[in-house]
Amino acid sequence: MSPTIGVVTFPGSLDDQDALRAVEVCGMTPKPLWHGSDSIEGVDAVILPGGFSYGDYLRCGAIARFSPVMDDIIRRAEQGMPLLGICNGFQVLCEAHLLPGALIRNDVRTFVCRDQLLRVETEDTVWTNAFTAGQEISIVLKNGEGNFQADPETVRRLEGENQVVFRYLQGNPNGSVNDIAGITNERGNVVGLMPHPEHNVEELTGPTLDGRGFFSSVSRFLERVGV
């Protein structure tokens, strides 16, 4: 039986259906999760998708962080459940303090949409173990508030403890400190990034299939732990 990956839909989610499709294309079982639910029973991992949860009012991800479903997600993630936050999902993870730092307005003051070259900085996470450190991949990027910032001590810790997962290449699209495109928690089960791997799993919708590595990574991990 294949692993079941839940994808949360918040009011204003944009890429939840794309994420569900990517899970299926990559050989796992997708399960929609509703923001108002108080349980994620029956899933082995969770994806927080891109979009504009709650209209991005207050701050991006700030209201979604208090959705009922997040209580169980936070509890399970702290116990080791794989959790991936994509774009707005990354913002939610930061607001929930599952990842450090914050995402602010792009320094170019415009919405950026392009194919983005990334370097994989570490393969030692649940979501990147199918890649190799130093590998260059191309993933769709689309955001207006993707500028990752943190205080200097936090940045030093992320860099020093191998928690930077992806870095922008060939130009920084949004002003993120140290060209950081994605990070992980200390345990390696929670990853957040601004680019959208769910758009790079089929030839019809992306110029590369590099996004499949995220899904094969979590599948490999879950198989290894006996799911």
The whole-angstrom separation of Cα 184 and Cα 190 is 6
**Which residue in 100, 103, 54, 99 sits closest to 74, CA to CA?**
99
Please tell me which residue in 95, 121, 123, 198 is annotated as part of the active site: 198
Specify which residues 117 forms β-bridges with.
138
Phi, psi of 114 (to 5 degrees): -170, 165
Phi, psi of 140 (to 5 degrees): -60, 135
What are the tokens at 162?
A: 């191998």
**Which residue in 179, 211, 217 sits closest to 15, CA to CA?**
211
The whole-angstrom separation of Cα 212 and Cα 23 is 9
First to last CA, the chain: 9
Please tell me which residue in 26, 35, 60, 87 is annotated as part of the active site: 87
CA atoms within 13 A on the CB side of 209: 7
The yes-or-no answer on residue 87 being catalytic is yes
The yes-or-no answer on residue 203 being catalytic is no
The yes-or-no answer on residue 97 being catalytic is no
Catalytic residue numbers, as ranges: 87, 196, 198
